[in-house]
Chains A and B, each alone.
Chain A
Amino acid sequence: MRDFEFLRPATAAEASRMLEDIGEESRLLAGGTALLLALRQRLLTPTHVVYLGGVAGLHRIEFDERNGLRIGALVTVAEIAEHPLIKARYPMMAAMAGQVANPQVRSMATLGGNLCYGDPATDPPICLMAMGAWVLTIGPDGGREIKLEDFFVDYYESALRPAEIVVEIRVPAPMSGVTGMYTRFVKTRAEHRPLVGAAVVARAVGGECLESWITVGASTLIPTRLHRAEQFMKGKAVTPHLLLEMAEMAAGDVSVVSDFRGDEAYRRDMIRVVLARTAATVFSVSL
């Protein structure tokens, strides 16, 4: 690892100013589980690392019915998995968080860091996008809100502007009658990164799909919402055939990566299978 200056701002605004002053050669450090690998492999060689660990107020988890869930950017993945309120009101999210990587990584990795890093092969972005999550930022031009759908721009690239920092993640309060599930698929148990991640959130009454939110990722460059598949499901009676057709459509609609972990055809097929099974569980249908 190349040496660097290590800066410890006390507030997010100060951290943002540091990033602005130093420019391109600076990197933010939250938990470090992803960044340290890149530093050690010299994929990244910043001259300055700005550490958020000393910034107060980014560790909170709060909830109320009107504003929904507010998660500070430095809340760890393990804290999300274990949080009683998240387990009770957002079981899909708690279950997802409990499966990320392994226990040691979960207790260091932060949700904010996970989202900002833009790694495609990771679970939280896919799950949270289907749940309608968005982030709050602060930066040189003040703060703004960015929906996760607009947040991921390209491979390891987010919509954040230079010196803009994510301070909070928001998830709407659960609507009544809405259920959801996230599935991570790994090729072998030894893998710590999903090959495919798929999330289905839906509101169904009497076997009819009123509304759904469907996302896939890990085999795509960025987590992707599948609007056409969602429209296809809308207002239809949910049958095994419908779900298989939806999954087929979804798998055809995304552009899929191809590498040593899986070629394009295999990954596309797994997207289809994982999505169909996830939807079947959400709608309580057997395929």
Chain B
Amino acid sequence: MSQHLIRVKINGEEHEVSVPARRLLAAMLRDDLHMTGTKRGCETGICGACTVHLDGKPVKSCLALAVQADGRALTTIEGMCGADKALHPIQKAFLEHGGLQCGYCTPGFIMATSAFLAENPRPTEKDVRVALSGNLCRCTGYVGIVESVMAAARAMAEETKEVQG
């Protein structure tokens, strides 16, 4: 049926992809562009493992068609590292505070966290739990994840201070 040539900016880089109308955004990233950092989990909009940013807002890429991203900007987990491949402070915090075990849900958590901290850079623990309610982890039990997010918020606040100072 209908095939569409779409233009998407992904992690700052322009891409042109030809996709059938029914291609999910998550499938385009993984299967067409081989950006496998974005995970397919439940594929029913529950688990959040496929979270990416569309025009800066967190979305579940299993609940969107690739064609819906035409002309828009995406950020995926691959875009979280800087050009020097250094880990983002959120990624570092997850490593240091045991925010992951098997790691499958982690890209989704990192993307949800980064969208959340952009809106609320000084959250309470409760804020974090509410903000991550669209993401599931079946290993860690969330304590480590919440600690990681709180630590990331502190680290990013320090960074901002240094930059401003």
Contacts and interface: CB of A to CB of B under 8 A. Distances in A.
A39 B45 CA distance: 13
Contacts of B95: none
Interface string B1-27: 110100000000000000011101000
B68 A32 contact: yes
Interface residues of A, number: 26
A103 B131 contact: yes
B35 interface: no
Interface in A106-133: 107-108
A104 B58 contact: yes
B44 interface: yes
A105 B67 contact: no
Nearest to A2: B22
A49 to B, nearest CB: 7
B21 A107 contact: no
A11 B146 CA distance: 44
Interface residues of B, number: 30
Nearest to A6: B21
Interface of B: 1-2, 4, 20-22, 24, 43-46, 48, 51, 54, 57-60, 62-65, 67-68, 112, 115-116, 131, 133-134
A5 interface: yes
Report which residue of A4, A6, A51, A105 has the largest number of chain B beta carbons within 10 angstroms of its beta carbon.
A6
Contact of A32 (B4, B20, B65, B115): B65
A33 B57 contact: no
A3 B21 contact: yes
Contacts of A33: 45, 60, 63
Contact of B67 (A6, A103, A107): A6
B67 A108 contact: no
26 contacts: A1-B24, A3-B2, A4-B2, A4-B22, A6-B2, A32-B64, A33-B45, A33-B60, A36-B63, A36-B65, A37-B44, A53-B68, A102-B48, A102-B134, A103-B58, A103-B115, A103-B116, A104-B45, A104-B48, A104-B60, A104-B134, A105-B60, A105-B134, A107-B57, A107-B58, A108-B64
B118 to A, nearest CB: 12
Interface of A: 1-6, 29, 32-33, 36-37, 39-40, 49, 51, 53, 78, 101-105, 107-108, 189, 192
Contacts of A4: 1-2, 21-22
A-B pairs, 3 with minimum CB distance? A102-B134, A6-B21, A107-B57
A192 B68 CA distance: 24
Contacts of A49: 21
A33 B48 CA distance: 13
B20 to A, nearest CB: 6
Given A3-B1, A33-B63, A105 B57 contact: no
B94 to A, nearest CB: 18
A100 to B, nearest CB: 11
A108 B21 CA distance: 18
B63 A5 contact: no
A4 B54 CA distance: 24
Contacts of B67: 6, 51
Given A104-B112, A108-B60, 13 more contacts: A3-B22, A5-B21, A6-B4, A6-B67, A29-B65, A33-B63, A36-B24, A103-B116, A104-B60, A105-B63, A105-B134, A107-B59, A108-B64
A46 to B, nearest CB: 11
Nearest to B108: A104
A4 B67 CA distance: 12
B131 A37 contact: no
A3 B115 CA distance: 32
Contacts of B51: 104
Nearest to B134: A102
